[in-house]
Every structure is written in C-alpha cells, then in structure tokens.
Amino acid sequence: MQKRRLFGSAGFRKKPAANLKSDYYIIGLGNPGSQYEHTRHNAGFDVVSILAGRHKISTRMHMYKARLGRGIIEGKKVLLAMPQTYMNNSGESLREMAHALGIGADKLIVIYDDIDLKEGVVRIKAKGSAGTHNGMKSVIYHLQTDEFVRVRVGIGKPQGEITDHVLGEYADKQAAFEALKMAADAVEAIIGQGVYEAQNRFN
C-alpha cells in the first residue's frame, strides 16, 4: 500500500481511516497559506476553525489532501476538514476522503463564501447547483452529486475585480466575525435538529 505524502507542517498526525468514520463530515472551503487567512474566500476555513475552538477539536491531522479534526458536536461524531488543494481543486480532497471513508452525500455539510448573498447573511441550502463558486463546482464535479447540505456565508458582490474582492479582507471585521459565528451556529443546528429545522431558523 502506497504511503500517503504528508502536506504542510511536520507536526501533523495521521490516524487509521477506520478511526475517522463519523456521523457528519463538515468541510470548510478555502485556500491554504497565511496570505489568505481571514479573507472573504476563506469563510469556510474560518467557520471550521470556530467550530474546532468551541468543541475543543484539534485539526492537526493531515490526510486526503486536507487538515482534519475528529470530535463530537451535538452528541454526534464529526470530522472537520479543510482541503489544502487550493479552492478551485477542493473536490480532489473530498473525492479521496469520500472514497476512503465511504461517505454518503447525506452526511456532508460544506461551508463556503457566496458573492450572491449580502455580506453578513448566512443561508442553509439542502442541495443544488454550485452557482458561480469554483470551489463548489470542483466539489460537485468530483463527487458527481449536488445532493448535499451546504452553509453559505454571504460576502457581497464586488464593486470592482472579483478576484480582488474574494481574496481581500472584510470591510467590517466585527460584522464578518458575527456572521461566521452564525454560520457555525447553523452547522450545529443542522447536526442537532436536522437540515429543515435549521433552515426554518436561519433562512
């Protein structure tokens, strides 16, 4: 069996795949690297980090081209993941993970930024297209399904170049942080109450 290459820090740990099987797989989309930290396009990473902090989940494992953390949220076993493939290739990581762990689409929750929502707005979507988001296009392409739950964090439409907007920092950092915390609340509600109850609350 070919040994998987470790990405990033030598401090990352590996665990047998059997130990990673979970009730829910929570995937935050973003770009690796300090230059992208807390930019609009990294909303998914930031929400996963908030969840990890709240529930004391270490995300120091590195497998399937992603940073991973295993823990409990709302009484359910969860695997937190932040793909390290860069945004436009996020689906490569999810495909490896889904294949190795036998993940069904009904167990996935994907979190990402959305320019089609006003900054600060959070919406839960049970399934559907990727819209204009390249990371989501990659996820749907590699998983060959769009039948999974997603939590969308609004970052607003750009006034100028879209790349500058999504890779830029929030204009109102405090308001953005409140929205990211709300998105983490939404993930907890999906796990604890189900997607339709969560939609009624957050949409």
Of the listed 41, 62, 133, 142, which one is catalytic?
41
3-state SS of 8-50 is CCCCCECCCHHHHCCCEEEEECCCCCHHHCCEHHHHHHHHHHH
Q: Please give the structure tokens belonging to residue 146.
A: 């769009």
To the query of whether residue 41 is one of the catalytic residues in this protein, the response is: yes
* Angle 118-112-28 from CA coordinates, rounded to 5°: 150
Task: Give me the residues paired with residue 62 across strands.
Answer: 67
- Measuring CA to CA, how many Å separate 129 from each of 23, 43, 52? 24, 19, 28
Q: Which residues are catalytic?
A: 41
